[in-house]
A and B are shown apart, each in its own frame.
Chain A
Amino acid sequence: MSDDSPTYVTDEMRAAQGQWGQSRTSPPITETDIRRWAMATHYPQQPPRIYRDSEYAATTRWGGIVAPPDFNPFAWPVERPRGGGAPGLSGRRPDGRPLTGMNGGQTDTYGVPMRPGDVISARSRLVDWWEREGRLGHTLYVRTEIEWRNQNDELVRTRFSIGIRY
């Protein structure tokens, strides 16, 4: 990229690269959270019994209800972090106008399943980024690593996610 190309990369991003941010903790997962998640993602059909029928789930290898791997225990927190994290970590236009964000994709590796009663802790860090001219104009791609562990410090999920900012 030539020196006069625009960049949305900020000094805050450069300073944060590779540094784990503060950990945050989910509310305890309930059977209702899991059932509603599964019903929403299977709508209009019924979700599998492993997500909604505790008697059946007890007969499986899991010994009880487990959450779908894609379940998000961080939705609907009672208290949320102020400001949604440090400013500038998602990139910024040189003229200061806000960027539009989109989800570019992810790769998740799953460890132990999430279960009712679990409390999940998450931490994340900026891995790297790149910019290019796309159909939406100048576009910044940011790769973030997000690690989830349960209350027993067992690894639940590692995600490498690509955020698109334009």
Chain B
Amino acid sequence: MAIDFDSVNVGDKLPEWSRRTGFAEWNRYAAVNEEFVPFHMDDEAGRRAGNEQGAFGMGNLRYAYIVNALHDWIGDEGIVREVGCQYRAINQKNDVLTVVGEVTGKSRADGENRVRLDINVVNQDGGATCPGHAVVVLPSIGQTQR
């Protein structure tokens, strides 16, 4: 189900998108991204890298969660045009990560209806782990009729 540009307003919230993360999620991501880094797979290696709790999750997986949350919101008729984020806090084992976002602007540029959002990935304690932004392109009402 596509959303359309005209129905989106500044201040609208991105529907929350959550996953509990641990080795089941990290190992699957390591497999497809060929990201077999010891501190993502082994608690001792995680501690040697400076994380007392042991192994920790990939920044790239949090990035994927942001992209997934955006896609779930805009549907297959929308386009993810830009995503940026910083990895500020570690993704610990069994963290419940939730992608959150809020519309901060709308514009028409280069023939596209663009919506800008502030985004973040927060953990179960409310800790903001991944502040960033995104730009998505949405169809307007006329374009969504097929």
* Interface, chain A (partner B; CB < 8 A): 33, 36-37, 39-44, 48, 50, 60-62, 68-70, 72, 75-76, 100, 102-110, 136, 160, 162, 166
Interchain pairs with CB closer than 8 A, number: 90
Cβ-closest 4 pairs across A and B? A107-B84, A105-B86, A75-B34, A40-B28
Mark B residues whose CB is within 8 Å of A: 19, 24-25, 28-29, 31-35, 49-50, 58-61, 63-65, 67-68, 71-72, 76-77, 79-87, 130, 132
* Contact between B80 and A69, CB atoms less than 8 A apart: yes
23 of the cross-chain contacts (CB-CB < 8 Å) are A37-B32, A40-B31, A41-B29, A41-B67, A41-B68, A61-B76, A61-B77, A68-B64, A69-B80, A70-B60, A70-B67, A102-B87, A103-B59, A105-B59, A105-B85, A105-B87, A105-B130, A107-B85, A108-B83, A110-B79, A110-B82, A136-B50, A166-B50
How far, in Å, is B121 (CB) from chain A's closest CB?
A: 12
Shortest Cβ distance from residue A78 to the other chain B in the assembled complex, whole angstroms: 12
Least distance between B92 CB and chain A CB atoms (Å): 15
CB distance from A160 to the nearest CB of B (A): 8
Beyond contacts A40-B31, A72-B33: 7 other A-B pairs, Cβ-Cβ < 8 A, are A43-B28, A44-B24, A68-B64, A102-B87, A103-B58, A103-B60, A103-B87
Q: How far is the CB of B16 from chain A (nearest CB, A)?
A: 14
CB-CB under 8 A from A106, the residues of chain B are 63, 84-85
Closest to A107 in B: B84
> Assuming the A-B contacts A40-B32, A105-B59, are A70 and B64 also in contact, with contact meaning beta carbons closer than 8 angstroms in the complex?
yes
Q: Which of B25, B33, B80 has the most CB of A within 10 A?
A: B33
Residue of B nearest to A48 (CB): B71
B65 interface neighbour in A36, A41, A69, Cβ under 8 Å: A41
Choice from A60, A62, A68, A102 contacting B68 with Cβ under 8 Å: A68
The answer to whether B76 and A48 have CB atoms under 8 Å apart is: yes
Nearest Cβ on chain A to B86's Cβ, whole angstroms: 4
Nearest residue, chain A, Cβ from B65: A41
Tell me which residues across on chain B come within 8 A of A43, comparing CB atoms.
Answer: 19, 24-25, 28
How far is it, in angstroms, between the C-alpha of A107 and the C-alpha of B49 when the chains are bound? 25
In the complex, the answer to whether A104 meets B86 with C-beta atoms within 8 Å is yes
Q: How far is the CA of A40 from the CA of B57 in the complex (A)?
A: 14
Known: A48-B76, A61-B77, A72-B33. A41 touches B61 (CB 8 A): yes
Q: Which residues of A contact B83 (CB under 8 A)?
A: 69, 107-108
**Chain A residues closer than 8 Å to B60, beta-carbon distance:** 70, 103
